[in-house]
Amino acid sequence: MAEYDLLVKDVKVVTHEQDDPFEADIAVRDGRIARVAPGIDAADAAQVVDGRGRPAFPGVVDAHQHWGIYSPLAEDTVTESRASAQGGVTTALTYMRTGQYYLNKGGPYADFFPEVLDASAGRSHIDYAFHLAPMSSGHITEIPDLIERFGVPSFKIFMFYGGHGLHGRSSDQSSFLMTPKGERYDYAHFEFVMRGVQAARERFPDLADEISLSLHCETAEIMTACTKLVEEAGDLTGLAAYHASRPPHSEGLAISIASYLAHETGLPNINLLHLSSAKAMDAAVRMAGAFPHVNFRREVTIGHLLADIDTAHGTGGKVNPPLRPRDDVEALWRHVAEGTVDWVVSDHACCRDETKFGEPRDDVFLAKSGFGGAEYLLAGMLTEGRRRDLPLGRIAALTSWNPAQRYGLRGKGAIKEGLDADFCLVDPDKTWTVRAEDSESAQEYTPFEGFELTAQATDTFVRGHQVLDAGKIVGGPVGKYVHRPVR
C-alpha cells in the first residue's frame, strides 16, 4: 500500500510566513498534508501530479460570500462553489439570515438553520461554513446554541437595514426583515447583539478568540437623504450616482458608532467588512487607535480593489457599499501595502441577469445589489499585487491564513503538515481576458468584463481531492460543511 494518497511534485510553496516561495513537493494522506519537502519519492504515492514548477498557494479562504441570496440555496451551492473552485477558493464562508431573500422566512435559527444545512448538503465542490445575523431578540438568546450545536461562532450586523432599502431606496423594513412585531432593527439592537456575542465569549473561554462579530457599516439616514438629493438633481447616472447616494462618510460614521458600541459592551473581536473608500479606512484606523483594546480586523473586496465607477462594466457593478472613484481604489491599495487590511474577499453574490436589472436596464436605482467574483479573487490579487510589488507571502496571508485564523478554521489557511490538503496551483505567466461566459457561475455578466489578468488558477485541491484540473472542473461535489471552531 502506498504511503501517500497524492503527491504533487515540483511546486513553489507559497506561505504566509515568508515573502518568497520555496521549492518542495506536497504529499497528502487521508485528506491532510502529510509532508512538505523536496525530493519525495513518487513511488510512495498512489497518485502523482506534476506541478511543473508552478506556485502552490494555500487554498483561498473566501470569508465573504452570499450563496442563496437571489437564487435557491441548493442551486447556488452547486454553481457558485464551482466558480469558487475555478478561482482557487477551497473554503467559502457565506452569510445567511432570516427575512426576505435567502429562505424568505423568519423565526428561530433552531428551525431555520437546519433547512440551510439540508439545502446545501452534498452539493458543494468546496468546503463551506456560514456566518449568521441575529435579526431579533430571540436570535440573540440562540447565540450559545448556534456556537455549540451548529458550529457557527461568527455573526453579522447590517447597520443600515432598519432604515434604508437594500437596493438604494427606503422601503418597509419590518416586512423585509420579518422581525417580530414591536421589535426594531436599530442601534439598540446592535448593542444587544454585541452584549450577546460577548456573553458567549465568556461562556466558552476556550473558543473566545474565534467568536467574533462582523459589521456592514453604512448609515441609513445619510444614505436616504443623499439618495433623494441625487435623484432630484438628476445630473449623475449609473455607478457614479450610486456612489454619491451612499457617500464614503456614511461608512466612516457607521464605523465610528459601531466601534464605540464595541468599546461600551466590552466586545473585542470586531470585523469591519468590505471597506470601500479612503474615508472608511481612515475611520477604521482612527477607531483602532482610539480603542486599542478592541481587536479590529479590516476587510476589503477584490471588486473594490479592481474596479472603479468608470472602469466597471455597466450597472452590473452595483454593490453595497458602492464601487468608488479611482482615488479610493488607490487608497485601499496603499492600506493593503501598509498592512492595515487584514484579508481580501469576493463578497460573491450571484445575481442573474433577469434578477439584477430593472426597466430601464441602465437605471442603477432599480438594479439589485451585488455580483459574483470569487473566480477572480486570487488572479486579481496576483495581477494587481505583483504590479505593486506585494510579496506572494503577503497575498497568501490576505487570502487564506488571516481569515482562517479569525474564523476558527483551524485546519485551513496554509500548506503545512497536519492541515487540510487545500491548495491551488497557479500559472503566474497566464495573461487572459475576463469574459462572463467563461465562468462556472450562473451569473451571465460581470463588472470585470474585458479586464486583463496576468495569472490564473489552473488546479485546485480540496482535502486532497482535485476539483479543478487544467482550468476545468472535474469530479462531483466533495465539499463538506465545516463545524467551527474545530475542537
Summarize pLDDT for 274-332 with one digit per residue, the tens: 999 999 999 999 999 999 999 999 999 999 999 999 999 999 999 999 999 999 999 99
Residues 437, 61: Cα–Cα separation, whole Å: 25
| 55 pLDDT higher than 60 | yes
Cα–chain center distance at 151? 18
Fold adopted by 59-413+431-452? TIM Barrel (3.20.20)
Longest dimension (CA), the chain: 74
Confidence tier at 165 by pLDDT (50, 70, 90): confident
Query: Do 164 and 223 contact (CB within 8 A), yes or no?
Result: yes
Phi, psi of 323 (to 5 degrees): -60, 150
pTM exceeds 0.95 for this model? yes
Residues 349, 68: Cα–Cα separation, whole Å: 8
For every residue of 294-355, DSSP letters joined together read SEEEEEEEHHHHH--TTTS-GGGG--SSPP--HHHHHHHHHHHHHT---EEE--B----HHH
Q: What spatial distance separates the first Cα and last Cα of the chain, rounded to whole Å? A: 31
Q: Which residue's entry shows cell 503566474?
A: 428
CA dihedral 347, 353, 356, 359 (to 10 degrees): 160
Q: What is the DSSP letter of 215?
A: E
Instruction: Please state the rounded mean pLDDT for residues 215-226.
Output: 96
**pLDDT at site 174:** 61
Q: Give me 8's grid cell.
A: 504533487
Query: Do 481 and 129 contact (CB within 8 A), yes or no?
Result: yes
Domain ranges of the chain: 59-413+431-452
Residues 414, 396: Cα–Cα separation, whole Å: 8
Query: Do 168 and 369 contact (CB within 8 A), yes or no?
Result: yes
**pLDDT at site 163:** 82
CA dihedral 304, 308, 314, 320 (to 10 degrees): 40
